[in-house]
Amino acid sequence: MSKYKRLDRELLLKGNIIDYYQDTIEIEGGRLTKFDFIKHRGASAMVLVDQDGKILLVRQHRNAIDRDTLEIPAGGLNSGEDNLTCAIRECEEETGYVAGEVHHLIDIYTTVAFCNEKIGIYYAKALTSSKQNLDEDEFVTIERFSLEEIVEMIMKGDIQDAKTISGILAYKTKMGL
């Protein structure tokens, strides 16, 4: 039985990607406390493997950490969109490749302490060339690496993005590599 009971959830800020709330929680013994909560619409990501066995990563700037990162392609769910459709759409938008033979890898919650963001992660090996379709504020380059190179970058701390680490290690495990 939970020792926490939410009594109230107050919307403090409605954003484009997230909504910020403050929850009033009753904890065991009747004491009240406040928790921050960020509501996220969800997202999807894709591990893309080309015909040479290389994995495509996208390099892009991330404002929250004020630096460029290497990541698997990913993006937020549009209204009414399911995770698989989102993963395929984001893959094409960011990389210029249409993913075929898509398989589910894993679902992750990114930051369970204060956010409900859940990312469905997939992989695809059959890629068909298309074209990038980036938002006007997106600047993304595509880089290809072997699985071993990516795992090494993860272990050295060069890749710290949770969805990328989860997706790559789930792919490695699922494929028995």
Active-site positions read 136
First-to-last alpha carbon distance for the chain, in angstroms, is: 41
Q: What distance in Å separates the CA atoms of residue 18 and residue 41, rounded to the nearest whole number?
A: 7
Which residue has 């409900």 as its token pair? 116
User: Are the C-beta atoms of residues 138 and 63 closer than 8 Å to each other?
Assistant: no
How far apart, in Å, are the Cα atoms of 12 and each of 19, 36, 63? 8, 10, 22
